Amino acid sequence: MEGLTNGIHAVKFAPIGANGTMGTDFFTFGLTEENSFKIVPNPAQYEEKKSEEKSAPTARIKTSEASLGFTFKIQNPNGEAMKKLWGGTVDATTKKYTPPKVIVPAEYSMSVIPFMGYGFDVVRAQVTADFNPDYGRASLLGIDVTITILDSGSDAANFETPFYKEGGVLFTGTP
């Protein structure tokens, strides 16, 4: 079926390219837990102003623009994933991760590749992450990731939605 979008083939990140362009040296933080990837629409926010004399609003002022973001859970991350998310160090021998004293959100380019259908290419994404609270015999260690699409900082679109053929192969023309 043409246009059917289904599944996550990969969620990839790259350092933002020169002059605020889409990065090209992609990596993953690990596997995305099944059914954890969500598109998070954030509608524009408005504030209504009322007068003492009328019950209906006299003005409606936009206080923030609409935006789009994503959330997902990294399943069973390793120290290198934590380092890319939060900074810090990973001991080469013991694999022990040590976070920095102050964690600053990372910024990367992001590509969401579906098994088939429409994906997302985000030029500049703010990446924040926290450990998932579920930790025990019935669950794997996880990190909850929140993505906020930021202004690209250039004339380029903030994100695009490329179309992929089955198997996560970018569609470039006639099937």
Tell me the C-alpha distance between 36 and 117, whole Å.
18
What pLDDT is stored for residue 129 in this prediction? Answer: 97
Q: Residues 22-57: pLDDT tens digits?
A: 999 999 999 999 999 999 998 888 888 888 888 888
pLDDT exceeds 80 at position 159? yes
Residue 123, judged by CB atoms within 10 A of its CB (0-12, 13-18, 19+), counts as buried
Task: Give, in degrees to the nearest 5, the angle at Cα 31 between 2 and 123.
Answer: 65
The pTM of the full predicted model, rounded to 2 decimals, is 0.84
3-state SS record for the chain: CCCCCEEEEEEEEECCCHHHCCCCCCECCCEECCCCCEEEEECCEEEEECCCCCCCCCEEEEEECCEEEEEEEEECCCHHHHHHHHCCEECCCCCCEECCCCCCCEEEEEEEEEEEEECEEEEEEEEEEEECCCCECCECCEEEEEEEECCCCCCCCCEECCEEECCCEECCCCC
Residue 55, judged by CB atoms within 10 A of its CB (0-12, 13-18, 19+), counts as exposed
What pLDDT is stored for residue 124 in this prediction? Answer: 95
Q: Residues 94-150: pLDDT tens digits?
A: 999 999 999 999 999 999 999 999 999 999 999 999 999 999 888 899 999 999 999
pLDDT exceeds 90 at position 79? yes
The residue type at 67: S
